Amino acid sequence: MKKWLLKPPSLEEFLRLLTAWRVWAAGAVVGAAVAALVYIIVPPQYRAQATVLVDQHVEQVIPVERSELLIYTYLQRETDKLVELAWSDQVLSQLSNQTGIPVASLRDGRLYLSQPGEGGWHFLATAPEPVTASTIASAWAKSFVEAVQAKPAGISTLLEVNLTQGQDLPVKRAASLGVYVFSGALLGVALLAFGLLFFDRKEA
């Protein structure tokens, strides 16, 4: 058995697999159907997105003639501070008080911070209901803005943040049906191909 499992497929077996288009089609159809069924029975949670505009006014800190590396290093350092603040106990505790969700649950994959840097920061939250996801995302963004505007130690006084999208937030499923179907089709093809190569062979 061990020898059979470790024996590499022959060229003939590879050619047979490549020409078996029915296998590919069947695997894709079955995999896509199963994935669609999973999506219907256990759909992904809703995800809402709030947006905060961050302007670090770097031109007032570093002269234009200085090197781009220096500017990049400064922006990265200041951005790292803001990311830490967004995930800080201070911000998440305030968010927990507003939503009634424990901080540990908020940290457990419910929140996601997208595109931190100079410009728009997206605060995303997932929940089983769209209204809950929207409430969490909006409250997180507002808590972050309030924390930054309080100018805690280490945050530049030149930094400016504004909540640009905190109401009527866009809400959608965390993953679309198309993603499920496509992934299922690929997985179905891969499993059938694996079966043909390794489990439909006569032991040598």
Residues of the chain with CATH 3.30.70: 46-173
**Tokens at 64, concatenated:** 């234009």
Closest of 138, 110, 142 to residue 126, by C-alpha: 110
The rounded Cα 192 to chain-centroid distance in angstroms is 29
Q: Is domain 46-173 classified as CATH 3.30.70?
A: yes
- Residue 40 contacts by C-beta under 8 Å, 6 or more apart in sequence? none
Q: Are 117 and 75 in contact (CB under 8 A)?
A: yes
SS3 (DSSP) at 61: coil
Report the C-alpha gap between 63 and 201 in whole angstroms: 70
Tens digits of pLDDT across the chain (204 residues): 444 444 555 556 556 656 666 767 777 888 889 888 988 898 899 999 999 999 988 877 776 666 677 878 888 888 999 999 999 999 999 999 999 999 999 999 899 998 776 688 999 999 999 999 999 999 999 999 999 999 888 888 888 999 999 999 999 998 888 888 888 888 887 777 666 666 554 444
**No. of helices (H) and no. of strands (E), the chain:** 8, 5
- Residue 150 contacts by C-beta under 8 Å, 6 or more apart in sequence? none
pLDDT of residue 174: 85
If phi > 0 it is left, if psi is from -120 to 50 it is alpha, else beta; for residue 118 that is beta
Report the C-alpha gap between 11 and 17 in whole angstroms: 10
pLDDT of residue 187: 87
Q: Are 120 and 53 in contact (CB under 8 A)?
A: yes
Q: Are 35 and 181 in contact (CB under 8 A)?
A: yes
